[in-house]
Amino acid sequence: MVPSRPSQTAEAVCFMRATEQARPQAARILDDPYAAAFLGPLSRAALGLGRRSPLAVGAGVVPQLTTYILCRHRLIDDALVAALARAEDRVEQVVVLGAGYDARAWRFADALAGRPVFEVDFPATQARKERILRGLDLPEVDVRRVPIDFQVDALGAVLAKAGFVPGRPTFFVWEGVSMYLRREAVVGTLETLHALGGPGSTLAMDFWFVLDDPGMTATFHRATASLLSLLGEPITFALHPEEAPHFCARHGWQVRDLADAAELARRYVRDGRRVYPANAVLIATPSSTAASPTT
């Protein structure tokens, strides 16, 4: 990650979301009508060229990754909308960690019904997003931009400055970020979120893991993950789905839903697309006991 320039992986996953708009509605995993607005000239041109573009060819090398990105966004969309609608959770605020070009604040403006959305990210990505948003016709929402470097800054302190109320029911989105952090930052974030959110809170996050199959396909997946280092955004944190519930429980969160590639495909794919197998998504709620000390 190069903190001084807008995140390239944020634009890459936004590109993947934008490509879905070209599919017939019935086959779409996700509807993100705002995604295309955040694309730079290159990716916008690529989107226009469709299948003939170099980016689409690149995406064709790892089409399963695109399908995964769409499925994880969809699962988190569904969890957010369900939590906002559940009267017993009384969700009062939403925090999107490493928000990138996440457009849920506007896509779900009605369901949010005025609840604040705290978008937390590096300032460079936020500044670019802000600039683009100024040119769009958007529903009225309470979005608060919170600049941070997760590896350096104290999340609780920066959120409090933006008006976040600790101890209240909060929906935390932590999508496409944990894999870029060091283990201690992931642990620290889980424990901080546990301390910040009150009963009724939910955490939605995804994570990457090493495929232990020695075959060519898994070797290719391991190699493509390493290529992200070339964008300055190396993958550094891995968590196997089998270990995720125990890991989350140690740091304050009880896993309620865990979807790997097969489960994501079962839930959301209607046209035979395959899902990149080295990631999973989980939804968790705070454990009643406090997080154990960092180990």
266 vs 268: CA distance, rounded Å? 6
* Helix (H) or strand (E) segment spanning residue 110: helix 109-112
- Would you state the torsion angle of the CA atoms of residues 65, 68, 73, 77, taken in this order, to the nearest 10 degrees? 170
Query: Does 98 sit near ligand SAM (CB under 6 A)?
Result: yes
Q: Closest CB to ligand SAM among 13 and 275?
A: 13
Among 32, 89, 119, 175, binds ligand SAM (CB under 6 A): 175
DSSP state of 25: G
Among 70, 99, 225, 282, binds ligand SAM (CB under 6 A): 99
C-alpha 245/C-alpha 24 separation (Å) is 36
Residue 101 has which token pair?
């070009």
What is the closest distance, in whole angstroms, from the C-beta atom of residue 106 to ligand SAM in the complex? 14
Return the HEC string of 207-275: EECCCCCCCHHHHHHHHHHHHHHHHCCCCCCCCCCCCHHHHHHHCCEEEEEEECHHHHHHHHCCCCCCC
Vertex 275: Cα angle to 29 and 9 (nearest 5): 80
Residue (80 or 148) nearer to ligand SAM, CB:
148
Cβ proximity to ligand SAM, 176 vs 200, nearer residue: 176
Tell whether residue 93 is a contact of ligand SAM (CB under 6 A).
Answer: no
- Residue 174 CB, shortest distance to ligand SAM, in Å, is 8
Is 149 an interacting residue with respect to ligand SAM (CB under 6 A)?
yes
DSSP string, 157-198: HHHHHTT--TTS-EEEEE-S-GGGS-HHHHHHHHHHHHHHS-
Distance CA 78, CA 81 (A): 5
Binding mask 216-245 for ligand SAM (x = CB under 6 A): ------------------------------
Query: At closest approach, how far in Å is the CB of 259 from ligand SAM?
Result: 16
Least separation in angstroms between residue 89's CB and ligand SAM is 22
10 near ligand SAM (CB under 6 A): yes
Q: Which is nearer to ligand SAM, 176 or 241 (CB)?
A: 176
* Among 102, 119, 191, 260, contact with ligand SAM (rule: CB under 6 A): 102
Instruction: Give the shortest CB-156-to-ligand SAM separation in angstroms.
Output: 15
Structure tokens at 184: 């201690």
Nearest distance, CB of residue 276 and ligand SAM, angstroms: 14
Contact (CB, 8 A) for 171 and 95: yes
Where does this chain bind ligand SAM (CB under 6 A)? Answer: 1, 7, 9-10, 13-14, 98-102, 121-122, 125, 148-151, 175-177, 180
